[in-house]
Each structure stands twice: as C-alpha cells, then as structure tokens.
Amino acid sequence: MNYKYFTFFALFFTSVITGSMAQLITPEDHFGLKPGSDRNLFLYEDLINYLQKLDKASAKMTMRKIGESPMGKPMYAAFFSNAENIEQLDELRMINKELALNHNLSEKRQAEMIKKGKVFFVATLSMHANEVGPSQAAPLIAHKILSTNDPDTLSWLNDVVYMMIPSHNPDGMNMIVNHYRKYKGTKYEGSSMPKVYHKYVGHDNNRDFVTLTQKDNQAISRIFSNTWFPQVMVEKHQMGSTGPRYFVPPNHDPIAENIDAEIWNWIGVFGMNMIKDMTRKNLAGVSQHYAFDNYWPGSTETCIWKNVIGFLTECASVKSATPVYVEPNELSVWGKGLSEYKKSINMPLPWEGGWWKLSDIMDYEISSTMSIIKTCSNHKEDILKFRNDIAKQEVNKGLTKAPYYFILPGEQHDESEWIDLINLLHRHGIYRYSLTKNIVLQGRNYNKGDVVIPLAQPFRPFIKEVMEKQKYPVRHYTPGGEIIKPYDITSWSLPMHKGVTSIEIDKRSEKLENSLRKIEGLYRPSKKYEDDFYAWFFPFTNNESYKAAFVLKKKGLKVNYFMESSNEKKGGFLIRKQNKNLKEIEQFINELKVKPEILKEKPDHNLHAFTVPEIALVETFLHDMDAGWTRYLFDTYAIPYSVLRPHELKEKDLSEYDAIIFPDNHESIYMKGKYSSDSYYRRNTYPPEYSKGMGKKGKQNLLKYLNDGGKIITWGRSGNLFTGKQVIKDKNDKEEFKLPINDRTKSLKNKGLYCPGSLVEIDIMDKYDYSAGMPDKIGVFYRGRPVYQTETPYFDMDRRVIASFTDENILLSGYSENLELIGGYPAMIWVKKGKGEMVMFTFKPQFRASTPVSYKLIFNSLLFQKK
C-alpha cells in the first residue's frame, strides 16, 4: 500500500471515530439555498461564518486572520489539507520559508525539506467585487474538499495545502451584494453599482501591488513576501458575458523580461492541465493565450517576480447573479490571441451560446480549483525543488550579472519619499543594507548611511523590475507587422515615481560588500533635540511636511510658512517651539518619517499664516477610480475635503469652497452622468438616479464661481470641460467667452502621438509659488491626452505656463510613439478668469497614488496663488 493511500485510510478512520465528518454543515443548510442558485448572493460575514463553522467541525481545515480591509473587516486565509498537515501548519510554513529564501541550503537538507514539505497553493477570490462568482463558489469548494471520499482528491490533499482567501475585497463584496439585493425584482436588477466597490479604488485594487497603498493588498502581499511563501497562486476574476467562457494561462505576449523562463513554463503546465481537466468535464469555451498579456507587475501576479508560480483565471460573467441568455451570433472575441470566435488552438472547444448562469460559474470555478490542486500534487517534489533552485539561481544571477546593486544615497531632494521607499522594499521582503563608512565607487562618493540594495537576493526579479526604468518589451504579431500594444500602463519604476535618486552599479565591489550592515525592520531616524531653539521647520521639499502642516493645524496649533524666492523655491512650514501642547507635538513628530529641521532663530522671511482651504472634490457615480485615489491621497495627507456629486453643482452655493477639484474623467460623465461621444452610443448600465450630471445649470454655477473668485483644479481629460465656448448667464447679462487654451489632442493623435501611461519629463518654472519644494525637472505620469496649447488672452483672462514638457529625451520610463510631438507643450497651466483662477494639469499628478514625485504640485495648487 503506498503511503498516500495509507494516510487516506488512517485519516478516514480517525474522522469516523471523532465523528467530525457528520458535523459538517452543508452550504444549503447554512445559507438556506445552494450557493450559485439564480438571483441569490450572500454577504461576506455569512461566508466567513460558514467557513468558521467548517473550521470547528473539521480537522482538515483551519482559518487564520491575515489582516483587515480598508473599512476594517477582518480578512482571513482558510487552509485546507489533510488533518496531519493542518496540525503541522507552522512547521510547514517554516519549510516554505527555507525553500523560498535560503539560497545556501545543502543538497541533503533541500532533499529532506522537499520530502517533508507540501505545496502551498493560494487562491485569492473576487478581488474585483462585481466579479462575484469565485467568492460565491467558496462554500461549495470548501465543503467538497472537506467532505470528499474520493481517493484521488484525498491523496492530493496529502501533498497540498490549499489556502483560500475567501474574499480579497470584503468591503466591495458587501457593497455589490447590497446593491444587487436593492434592485432585485426591479427593471434595474443586475445593474452596475454606483461609486467604487472598495473604500477608495474599486477595480484599481488590482493595480496596486507594487506601491501597496491599500490595506487589503498589503494583507495579501504579506503572504508572498513575509509570512507563508506559497509556491503557487491564482487570482480569480470574471470577464465579459459574450466571449470565451473561461481564460486559463499561458497569457499572451508580451511577457516580462525579468521573469525566469522556468516560471513561464510552470505557469503553462498549470494552464494546460486546467484546459484539459475542464474540457474533460464538458466545460466548453476554455481559452488560453488570449487577451491578457504578462509584462506588468501591478496585480496580485506581482508574486511571480518573487518566484511564485502565479496566474489568473477569468470566467464569463452573468449580471451579478441574474442569468444571461447569449445568442450564438453575439459570441465574439475582443483581445489579441483569438481573431475569430471559432474552434482554434487557443480555444479548442468553443461554447455554443444559450443560458449562462451563476451555477455555471460555480462549476467552472470548482473544476479549475481542483485541477490546480491536482497539478500541485502531481508535481509536488518538482515544485518544491524548483522553489529553492530558483532562489539559488536568482542569487547567483545577482552575483554574476549586472546590475549588482542599487544605491539610494541619503542626500535626497525628498527625504520622506526616500524613507518611504526603503520601508516599502522591506514590506516586499527585500533586504536592505546601509553603508558603514564613506566609500568611493566608480568615481562617485558614497556616504556612511547611504542605502544599498544588492541584487543577489532570492527576489532579484522584483528588485530589478521596480528599481530600474521600464522599457516595454516590443513584440509584433507578425514579423515586421503591427506592434502588440500594452494592455495597461508601462512605467512603475519606484525611484522615478517617487522622485528618489537611485544609482545602478554595474560592477561588483568588494569594498562595498565589506561595508554593509543589514537594516532590520522599518527604517526610522532617531529624534532628539536640544532644548533651546526657535521653531521646528518642515521644508516644502518633503511630501511629509504637508501632512505635518495639516495635522498640526488640526490639533489647534499655529502653523506658519515662508517662501524663499531664490533659484529654488525652498521655504516650508514652521511651528514655534512652545510649552503648550509640547507632548502632543513631540509625539506626532516622533511618528514622522523625517525628523523636522531646527530653526535656531526667527527666519529672515515674511511669515504667512497657514490656513486650511475648504476643498470640494467632484466624484461621479460611475466607478470613479481617479476620484477614489484622490480621496485616498487626501486622507493620507490629512487634507480635509467634501465630496460633491456632479448634479449637486446645480443648486449648491459654491462660494463656500476655496477650491473645487475635477479628477480625470470624460467631460460627458461630469455633464450628463453617462458616457457619450459623437462616434457611438454607449449604453448606460446604471440605475437612472445615478445617471445625473451637472448639466448646463451646474456648469453655469461653476463658471460664476470661477468668475467671482473661486479656484478650479483639473487634471487629465477633465480640463476638456473648460475648452471651447463658455457662457455665463446672469439675469440680464450673457457673457460668452473662451479661456486662453486650445485642445490639440486630436491633431497630435492624428500625427501618431501614443502614450499608454509612461513617465514623461517636464520642466517646472521656479518663479511661481506653485513650484514650492519642486526640483527643476521631474517625470510625470502621462497617458497621451489631453494636449493643450495656450493662446494670447483677451478681456479679464490670463494664463501662465507653470510646467511644460521637455524638448529632448522626453520619455523617462515606459513606452510611447512620437512623444517628441508634445515637446515644449504646456503640462501645467494657470488660467485666470475674472477674479478666479484655474490650475490645469494635462498629466495625472496622483496617478493611482503611485507618483509621489508630483503630489506637491497638487498641494501647492490648493494652498497657494500665482504670484
């Protein structure tokens, strides 16, 4: 009898004796209906409650808390395996960690660990909360695994620990379920949910795995970087209703250059087994090599840069839980890799159309999950050996191939972002060192305390990917043919996006390697002050200084600032040293990343009182992720604001606001509450009460607010609200005018301008207060639209260019075509109308909270005037 079967019988009898099998409550009994039945969805708490009941009843499962959602819901991982493995979970975890990180493991020790270890396979379910299927299938999968008597499955579970993250986005899950229930039985059943299905970022929660700003993503990322070190990962999604039924890897080209060939091969093995196993079960329409490419590290799949065999699956959607009927002629393909909806090597068994239900999604989810568990088991020893071998290989590459180190000098323009980067790398499981003495390397001086990131680390691919500048892997469909265009953005270089100087060293240095001390944990400077000084000083150059100003002001302290108009806008915020609130101030200062400077005496500049502006942020109902990211930015920097919906601009007295912000969005969504363009009619999937825009009346109110002395800030496409003819109507008066800006987007696009999301260089004029704390040149995140040009103004209007695109070497990181066309064009414009002013950014200054390099331009626009 082989060992696997022996364990099966032993466990079977143990279970019978302890009676645990009898107590397993079925999903039907717990939820009152079968998960996946038409038009029914359960809430996150019901799901967790069910899993907790199973946990109590079965020795083959356990749950661990892994963190909290942004809105404070506990997040869990549920572990499933045989009882013995669950019993020894922490021991197995240590084996995972050794295999993942110990590149000095001897052959003998490696062999022992492979024998003892288990493959950990983590599945994160429904991060996109409107893709309800995977989380709704969780109870079925859990119950099936725990109650099965199938000898094959039981034998797989001897080798595999299945880690289920029941919901990657618990806040969004409940929002979606509540929205569905609200409209169930009405004509808007299955409609899109207004607002973002997340505290801040909605669908963009899958674009945050490099910057790790959101708590749910931090919880998931810790699994790969710091705690469990699983070898296999799947993130489970859904796609449109009328294409293939299911997507499994491999993905389409292009693929990331920094990932080892063997990772791609393993991903292919899992995908090929899934399509084989699912087709065997008559699940039609499984596709591969389709639509989704694999060069970009922003999603949960960022773990492949940390040597995890990671991939996604995508199932065709229903309308939340409402079945859809698909006519065969409606079946179509939309992405690269399949050019017709026909039998092909990338989809050998097309689905023929008809009813598609939530229960179908359940079948595909169960089947794909079981297939992955099976593949993990069939290749257990190979996978575990691979995990340690690749750690060794990556370390070896770091010792033998350039680049060898990235150095982050302590001397930085924005010290707070430097510290933030050092700590972010720690959260990513990267080892960081500081120099123990001053050294000279390739003709450049480095100082004691400068931070060194050696590439000889198991997670080398990740370090390389996020520290170097990006070069898009250009591939063509056919030799000499069309370029395969990027699916998403093309730049994520952390030093560049944060404005941190990082130097790549292409030669190994013994001198350097002998002068390194490992940085343990989070990097924090010590803070001790002598007693006698005038004030604490927070220079504008640090992003964190703005947070300090807002927080201390809120604590009731008097905050001042001064500008230093030399070549560089220095200046900053200052707080007089005082005995009042001293403890409170010191406590706050101790929690800051950067120690404030000390002013011995009163500075020789005009001191201005810092006042907190009244800010309105306009957020549309249509899954407005850019507005959500802006809320996240403001909350992070303690900047108070109110959210206005576009239709509220009609009636609201806007004069109470010092500034009104329009994040990037199509102007039709602001105006009409739905997308519209001249070229086609896009149907609206939201209930009508959420399809409301500001209309002409709101626009009038807004222009009057501007004319009377208000401030409007726009970025990205929202500036288009203010191009072309503008009208202000009063009782007797009607003023028709045009602001001194022209939209050149179309004409440059026609000339071939293409920029899918890259870091582009701008020059910043240093004579305006808007440039406080900014260097002369930075890279900003730009998506090729809009392009504006200023024009000579008339009457009570004016304009100044605050920043413009550079003329030469404009592309800093990422991909673009004909980008030189925008050289010299304005990137940030100040516009005056009447007594009011506007600040218009053509780039995205807070893009997905991944561009701290340009945050100060937003803060300055809110706080200062053009002078």
Give residue 533's region: left, alpha or beta (phi > 0; psi -120 to 50).
Answer: beta
**H-helix or E-strand spanning residue 141:** helix 133-147
In this complex, which beta carbon is closest to Zn ion, that of residue 237 or of residue 426?
237
Asked whether the CA dihedral 141, 142, 148, 152 is positive or negative, the reply is: positive
CA angle 377, 49, 220 (to 5 degrees): 55
In this complex, which beta carbon is closest to Zn ion, that of residue 131 or of residue 204?
131
Confirm if 650 and 701 have CB atoms less than 8 A apart. Answer: yes
Which token pair is 577? 């040293």
Q: How far is the CB of 69 from Zn ion (least distance, A)?
A: 17
What's the CA gap between 246 and 237, in Å, rounded? 10
In this complex, which beta carbon is closest to Zn ion, that of residue 240 or of residue 354?
240
> 3-state secondary structure string, 595-632?
CCEEECCCCCCCCEECCCCCEEEECCCCCCHHHHHHHH
In this complex, which beta carbon is closest to Zn ion, that of residue 267 or of residue 455?
267
Q: Could you give the 3-state DSSP secondary structure of residue 573?
A: strand
In this complex, which beta carbon is closest to Zn ion, that of residue 314 or of residue 363?
314
Cα–Cα separations (whole angstroms), residue 99 to 82, 302, 357, 716: 21, 19, 42, 46
Q: How far is the CB of 126 from Zn ion (least distance, A)?
A: 8
In this complex, which beta carbon is closest to Zn ion, that of residue 124 or of residue 854?
124
Binding residues for Zn ion, rule: CB under 5 A, are 128, 131, 237
Q: How far is the CB of 177 from Zn ion (least distance, A)?
A: 17
In this complex, which beta carbon is closest to Zn ion, that of residue 205 or of residue 842?
205
Which residue in 683, 676, 620 sits closest to 648, CA to CA?
A: 620
Confirm if 296 and 489 have CB atoms less than 8 A apart. Answer: yes
In this complex, which beta carbon is closest to Zn ion, that of residue 298 or of residue 710?
298
Confirm if 549 and 865 have CB atoms less than 8 A apart. Answer: no
Q: How far is the CB of 311 from Zn ion (least distance, A)?
A: 13
Tell the burial category of 445 from Cβ atoms under 10 Å away from its Cβ (0-12, 13-18, 19+): exposed
In this complex, which beta carbon is closest to Zn ion, that of residue 93 or of residue 207?
207
Q: How far is the CB of 237 from Zn ion (least distance, A)?
A: 3
Place of tokens 């996006």: 497
Return the number of other C-beta atoms located less than 10 Å from residue 231's C-beta. Answer: 26
Q: How far is the CB of 330 from Zn ion (least distance, A)?
A: 21
Confirm if 770 and 861 have CB atoms less than 8 A apart. Answer: yes
In this complex, which beta carbon is closest to Zn ion, that of residue 238 or of residue 758?
238
Residue type, 719: G
> 3-state secondary structure string, 385-435?
HHHHHHHHHHHHHHHHCCCCEEEECCCCCCHHHHHHHHHHHHHCCCCCEEE
Q: How far is the CB of 234 from Zn ion (least distance, A)?
A: 12
Q: How far is the CB of 622 from Zn ion (least distance, A)?
A: 17
Q: How far is the CB of 127 from Zn ion (least distance, A)?
A: 7
Q: How far is the CB of 212 from Zn ion (least distance, A)?
A: 19
